Amino acid sequence: MIDSLFIITGSGNFVVERHFRGNTPRHLCDPFMDKLRSCERPEEIPGVVCANRRHVLVHILREKMVLLAVVTQEEPILALFELLDRVYQVLLRYLGEVNEDTLRQNFSTVYLLLDEMIDSGLPFTTELNSLESIIAQPSTIGKVVQVVSGSSSQVLSDVPADQAKGGSGSSLGAITNALGVGNQTQIGGASSEVWWRRQNVVYASNEVYVDIVESIDCIVDGKGQMISGGIGGDIQVNSKLSGLPEVLLTLRNPSTLQNVSFHPCVRLHRFERDRALSFTPPDGEFTLASYWMPDTTLTMPFNFSVSVQWHAEHGKLQISASPKLAVTMQHKQMLIDKFCVNVRLPSCIASANLDCQGGTIRLDEQSKMVVWHIGKLAGQENKAEATLAYATDPKDHSPIIPSEEKCTAQLAFVVKGWAISGIRLDACDVSGTSYTPYKASRYTTTSGKMDYRIA
């Protein structure tokens, strides 16, 4: 599937490289690196870049870190994106944060994970619970023991320590046992049918949390009509349950799950029959289901308008945003937060005189972007205005009035306590256990790629 994998910083520094099918020289990445260094917005770089007639570069961008795969054969592009995203999610779970410092500080863990996840360029072990039963989480105590003993204790074993070392009477063995570094983990799943859940899971406090997170992707024309749109959603579960529990999620609006992909733990026959999600959960955080709903009739929880007028001497930008009372009164627990508006202006705008009622507003001179941070959107209408000064023609010093170049506005926000699709969790039942776990759920709607075209 992939020949080599590179992890690169947003500034273009190579941090990690792993070759699976022969060595790939770094200069093959130059076409992508040129785009990365010259582009002001790395997210606008195409996901697939042709290096030459033989090599193709496929990449994803996550938190200013680039995961770049070199491919020499015909492969399903979505499978490549999925593999790169899975690598990032595993590194995020192990390291807490994926950046240049954490990658360099835990390089041995990173390379062990890559070797387990990808074998000869093909996906091998990508389930988090399976990886955690093989490779230990990096810790300060583990690093100290590794330095003292001169060996790594990250690769776990199901062989008892006294059999592996011929006894545990050494002082180093006593120290590691006392610190808990030498604890043995049984490799493999809880059974051959439940391979995604590690064995012998025990918690003092048993809990299960369900998060339904949805994002809105849409394009709105200058008349305020949505010409393209849809909802992407994830049902995320954080399971901290002992033993081998059975979980049943009953949804109020299961018709939402049409274009859906499930985690392997979901019993598909039960969903097709009862439209309920029955599963034995992996331990920890995982995505139970991902779905997509194309819809151009979405009802936003806010009112938003933006307009630009070009006069002979200057331009005028007007923006307004306010919560939609018809929606917020129906869902009183709803909170619209982190509301931000980005308006891209034509390149011939020299400066802007900005003013706003609510939040802060500024002009990024380099990208010609008006950035209006409102924060919490509640109560009265928020307004912003800008008087735009034109650049002048160096030949006759006449103002350059925009004529062909159009403006666009992008929105960013988080709505807590509300799912735009209307999906709700009716019940979360846990069986097969002798305890009563704590259960909780929450709903979040975020902005995806939302573009408003300004007439």
243-293 per-position pLDDT tens digit: 999 999 999 888 888 899 999 999 999 999 999 999 999 998 999 999 999
List, in order, residues 6 or more apart from 22 with CB less than 8 Å away: 3
Structure tokens at 293: 């709903």
The least confident of 65-69, 238-242, 388-392 is 388-392
| DSSP single-letter state for residue 190 | S
Q: Which uninterrupted H or E stretch holds 413?
A: strand 407-416
Q: Is the pLDDT of residue 324 over 80?
A: yes
Structure tokens at 273: 């029959």
The predicted structure's pLDDT at residue 149? 56
Q: Is the pLDDT of residue 61 over 80?
A: yes
Model confidence band, residue 146 (pLDDT cutoffs 50, 70, 90)? low
List, in order, residues 6 or more apart from 416 with CB less than 8 Å away: 334, 335, 337, 442, 443, 444
Q: What are the CA-CA distances from residue 393 to residues 44, 165, 351, 388, 390 (Å)?
A: 30, 80, 15, 16, 10
The predicted structure's pLDDT at residue 155? 60
Model confidence band, residue 68 (pLDDT cutoffs 50, 70, 90)? very high
Q: Is the pLDDT of residue 49 over 90?
A: yes
pLDDT digits (tens, 9 = 90+) for 222-240: 888 899 999 999 999 999 9
The predicted structure's pLDDT at residue 387? 92
Using left for φ > 0, alpha for ψ between -120 and 50, and beta otherwise, residue 354 falls in beta
372 and 352 in contact (C-beta within 8 Å)? Answer: no
Amino acid at 283: D
pLDDT digits (tens, 9 = 90+) for 333-370: 888 999 999 999 888 888 899 999 888 999 988 888 99
Structure tokens at 351: 């400066």
Neighbours of 119 (CB within 10 A): 11
Model confidence band, residue 310 (pLDDT cutoffs 50, 70, 90)? confident
Which strands sit side by side in the sheet containing 56-62, from one edge to the other?
Answer: 14-19, 4-9, 65-71, 56-62, 48-50
For residue 190, count CB atoms less than 10 angstroms from its CB and return exposed for 0-12, middle for 13-18, buried for 19 or more. buried
Helix 107-117 and helix 77-95, axial crossing angle in degrees, nearest 10: 140
Percent of the chain with pLDDT over 70: 88
Rounded (to 5) percent helix, strand, coil in the chain: 20, 40, 40
Q: Which domains does the chain have, with CATH numbers?
A: 4-132 (3.30.450.60), 140-179 (no CATH), 207-297+420-454 (2.60.40.1170), 302-416 (2.60.40.1170)
pLDDT digits (tens, 9 = 90+) for 169-225: 455 554 444 444 444 444 455 566 788 888 888 999 999 999 999 999 999 998 888
The predicted structure's pLDDT at residue 2? 93
- 396, 388, 414: which is closest to 319 by C-alpha? 388
pLDDT digits (tens, 9 = 90+) for 91-144: 998 998 999 999 999 999 999 999 999 999 999 988 887 888 788 888 765 666
Alpha-carbon span 177 to 85, nearest angstrom: 36
The predicted structure's pLDDT at residue 152? 53
Find the Cα–Cα–Cα–Cα dihedral 73, 79, 85, 87, rounded to 10°: -60
Whole-structure pTM value = 0.77
pLDDT digits (tens, 9 = 90+) for 397-420: 788 888 777 889 999 999 999 999
